[in-house]
Amino acid sequence: MKRILTGDNATGTHHLGHLIGSINNRVKHQLEYETFIIIADMHALAYPKYINPDYNFKDAVYEILLGNLSAGLDPERVYFFSESSIPEIFEIATIFSNFVTHSRALRVPTIKDEIREKNLGENYSLGFINFPVLMSADILSVQADLVPVGEDQVPMIELARDIVEKINTTYKANLKFPNVELSSHPRLVGTDGSVKMTKSIGNAIFLTDSTDKVYEKIMKMYTDPNRLRATDPGKVAGNPVFIYHDAFNKNIEEVSDLKERYTAGKVGDVEVKEKLFTAIEETLEPIRKRRKDFEDTDLLDEIIKKGNQKVREEASKTLKLIKENLKIMTL
């Protein structure tokens, strides 16, 4: 059985962008692939805000685990593990860092975007620059065949493939080349119309949001800024509300009707948003219910322990393979 590895940074709660960008693919593939879900708690230290004595990494791991389980991943089929529990990953990352130049790491678009979006200036750590290399070690630790990710993470996978190519070419090794899979909606716009839904700027609908909170956020969503009255013809293309309809509303005929009436000036924003609210609630309600089945820390600990044990076994094999190929002592 081929393998999938994907996962999340332990930096908060999942939102709809995570759901449609990656998690739905995880759920879809869990019967076909041996699936590994990493909870990347050490990646959080790359961001200055999480170097904070009040931040609880263990609680953050629980939150990410709950998000995945509530969305439909089966702990009997899927291995969940915390990055910090797998020391072999960090040894692999140290080796990999020697195959990546400093300038190459800084050219990763995701890193450049993060520096700009979070106003880091020159105040980013070595760990932040090494973020893509550590992610490469995460992926290669279990020799994953496929990595379902959001569009913004594709450059990270490309770097992992570059590292594999260098090692395989130089040392005649046989590390796997990880392939990328994007969802049908690889990047969900924010509720404010910005390019990306993100936790840090608050333009997200979270999987844990209450019904009232979801309604409030949807009613405040941006639409066509040039449409002043319901009788004005509106634009559908690029309109965040209709992007969300396309992503979450399973009633295709209803969406087509709304688009037709919107462009003709025959429907108001309120009706369009209320029908979007209904569609998103149909997505979130079963997620809320499933979450309650797993809100027990002893159960969550058992799930993580099982995954950690499996991944340590696999990562040890990978590390041994890499060392043998590089003629590094393994005694």
Kindly report, residue by residue over 236-291, the tens digit of the pLDDT: 999 999 999 999 999 999 999 999 999 999 999 999 999 999 999 999 999 999 99
303, pLDDT greater than 80: yes
> What's the gap between Cα 10 and its chain centre?
10
Q: Determine the Cα–Cα distance for residues 224 and 245; give it in Å rounded to an integer.
A: 15
What is the CA 67 to chain-centroid distance, rounded?
11
Query: Which sequence spans correspond to the domains of the chain?
Result: 3-188+296-326, 211-290
pLDDT over threshold 90, residue 124 = no
Question: What is the separation, in whole angstroms, between the first and last Cα of the chain?
Answer: 31
CA distance 272 to 18: 23
Q: Distance between CA 133 and CA 156 in Å, rounded?
A: 8
- Maximum CA pair distance of the chain? 77
| Res 197: pLDDT | 83
Q: What is the pTM of this model?
A: 0.92
Each residue's pLDDT tens digit, 81-99: 999 999 999 999 999 999 9
* Tens digits of residue pLDDT in 132-179: 999 999 999 999 999 988 778 889 999 999 999 999 999 999 999 999
pLDDT on residue 331? 77
pLDDT, tens digit, 9 for 90 and up, residues 5-56: 999 999 989 999 999 988 998 999 999 999 999 999 998 888 888 889 999 9
Q: Which residue has the tokens 């990328």?
A: 180
CATH code of the region 211-290:
1.10.240.10
39, 49, 129 from 114: Cα distances, Å: 19, 13, 11
Determine the CATH number of domain 3-188+296-326. Answer: 3.40.50.620
C-alpha–C-alpha distance, residues 275 and 74, integer Å: 31
